[in-house]
Structure 1
Amino acid sequence: MMEVGVLGDPRAAQALVDYLLSQGISAQSQATNDGVAILVEAPQFHRGREEYERFLKEPYHRRYMAASWESGQVHSGRDAKFDYGTPGLSFFQSLVTQSGPLTLLLLLVCGGIWLFWNLGFAEAIYGATHFFASWEAMGDGQWWRFFTPSLIHFSAMHVVFNLLWWWYLGGRIERERGALTLLILLLVAGTLPNLAQFALQGPNFGGLSGVVYALVGYCWISGRFNPNSVLALPPAYVGFLLLWLALGFMGMMNMANYAHLGGLLVGMVQALLDHRSRRR
């Protein structure tokens, strides 16, 4: 069987398993060091993964209570005991178990920068983190400026969009391929695409979007090599993000288009290199 995800609360995991069984998906739960893994048969992996992701978005929906009630009374003759415990704790556990140390660290860093940005420190933060103002300025040191623009965001939608995708994709990669793989993607996609963006459109940009597109490219290509991998993305997700990229180049969005495209290419190349190294 294949793992579609991990939940921090055993009762929530049982609720999802009950629902999957009610939908004709062969599923079971298994305790792990990170929580409770949800396992499904390989041919049903993508359907099981989609249901798992839907469960994360609305875990208290009545469909899961109904499935647990039916499972408790019909399948085993027991009273249904559908109870998630403390909602705040369950949410926190789910956040942690779907991530890794690096994923969570960057969430905290970007979230903290955004918080202080809106507490009146925007000018100081921008002054310390923005990209080089010119090619000549690169000769003065301060090499962190190749990367630090990736950590600053200019609107609430900007930071929420990027951090959600970072958590969703970065957490997958870190748990499946390790923190080193994710760190390489972060550093390379957080620097080279910034340089391309500067060369083609100037220094006024910021955000984690280039890294996010690197994660998309990495998961996309990894999924092409192994459709049953937990890194494989539903085609709709890839299509949405590619459409978003295209809208930027069409001038319909004010975005760092070349950083996005550069990040996508970085992720795709890294996936190809990793695939070759694993085959040796």
Structure 2
Amino acid sequence: MRQIGTLQTQTQADRFTAFLVTQDISAVAEPDTDWWTIWVRDEDQVAVARDALDEFRRNPDDARYHGVVREASAVLQAQAKRRDLARKNVIPVGGGRWQQSGLRATPLTAAVIALCVVLFVLSGFGRNDRSAAMRSLGFCDARHAQRADWDPSRTQDRLIDIRRGQWWRLVTPIFLHADVLHLLFNMIMFHIFARAIEMRQGAARLGVLMLLIALPSNAAQGLAPATWGTLSGGPFFLGMSGVVYGLMGYLWMKTVYHPGSGLFVNAGTVVFLLGWMTIGFTGVLGDSLQMANLAHGGGLLAGMIWGYVSSPRT
């Protein structure tokens, strides 16, 4: 902190330091024997503050100094609110959920990952369509494909099990995975996004958000016609990627429209996942990699919508 000069009265000192605050220069006035000493906190702003002091001394009653005390008070209050908000949005490293183990801090995230791993093993590492996991949790039972009277192009046939009351199938395909890389990629990304949301908003909010994303994501992929090229749908799909895209979209909207929420996603992550989705839409990889593009797009759109509508309007 550097001294830049003195003023004769407290009124002048208060008015001038208030003026500096309105110019985004942090300053204080301290009483001395016969005057008030002006101090500036930032070394880089000393020269500007001294020039401002010279101008003030020449005409302390200039109109631009009228009302600066009230204006400076508003500026300081706004700064204090921002600091308080920042403190609320920081989870202390030495306490709170960060101090807990990963399982205790984010139980739903951990439980979902564990469930996906267990089901992956029970499904023969994603290869056994006849396993109980695949038959019971897919959009529809794969054994229907062996029936001569079952046509996957007909909506009523795709919904055959759901129409029988097995409503969980609208959600449960997200817990199934086709191979190790499929599982590994989805679980890594899910852990990053879900843990951030659960740490900030809790398990209940994360669970509801997953449902709100999984339903339209799975419906889009499961019910779309099979004649739409790279956007074709079908009942035999699986994976958490639609939810992953939805959680990313939710965090993206929070980053843009509600930065005070404490939720954030890196721009590089957004670009990477959008680029990967674009590759799927273009079909440049051909049949070498089957991607549930409508699940990705539907999940992303759902997550973005919920992230936007749950953010405060300014």
TM-score normalised according to structure 1 size: 0.64
Q: Which structure is larger by alpha-carbon Rg, 1 or 2?
A: 2
Shift of 1:250: 0.9
| 1:113 partner amino acid | L
Q: Match of 1:100, as an amino acid?
A: T
Distance apart, 1:265 and its partner CA: 0.8
Question: Greater share of helix residues, 1 or 2?
Answer: 1
Offset at residue 242 of structure 1 (A): 0.2
Task: Give the one of 236, 239, 243 matched to 2:271.
Answer: 239
Q: 266-275 or 136-145, which moves further after superposition?
A: 136-145
| C-alpha distance after superposition, 1:171-229 (max 9, x if no partner) | 10011122222111211212221111122211110001111011000000000024465
Tell me if 1:215 matches 2:235.
no
Aligned to 1:205: 237
Query: Equivalent of 1:102, from 94, 101, 108?
Result: 108
Determine the structure 2 residue equivalent to 1:115: 121
Equivalent of residue 141 in structure 1, options 140, 165, 179: 165
Higher relative contact order (CA 8 A, sep 6+): 1
Match of 1:259 among 295, 308, 312: 295
Unaligned 5+ segments in structure 2 are: 1-85, 141-151, 225-232
**After superposition, where does 1:1-280 map in structure 2 within 5 Å?**
30-36=93-99, 93=101, 95-96=102-103, 100-118=106-124, 122-124=129-131, 125-132=133-140, 135-136=155-156, 137=160, 138-200=162-224, 201-227=233-259, 230-251=262-283, 252=285, 253-276=289-312
Q: CA deviation at 1:246?
A: 0.4
Q: 1:247 to 1:202 in 2, by over 3 A?
A: same
- Give the SS at the match of 2:130: helix
Q: Return the alpha-carbon distance in structure 1 between the equivalents of residues 185 and 214 of structure 2.
A: 17
Provide Cα deviations, 1:215-260, integer angstroms capped at 9, x if missing partner: 0000000000244654211111100000011011111242100000
Q: Which residue identity lines up with residue 143 of structure 1 in the other structure?
A: W
Count residues with an aligned counterpart. Answer: 199
Q: Which runs of 5+ in 1 are unaligned?
A: 7-28, 37-91
Aligned-pair CA distance for 1:30: 4.3
SS in 2 for 1:123: coil
Deviation string for 1:127-155 (max 9, x for gaps)? 11111365321422211111111110001
CA RMSD of aligned residues (A): 2.6
- Residue 121 of structure 1, CA deviation: 6.0
TM-score by length of 2: 0.57
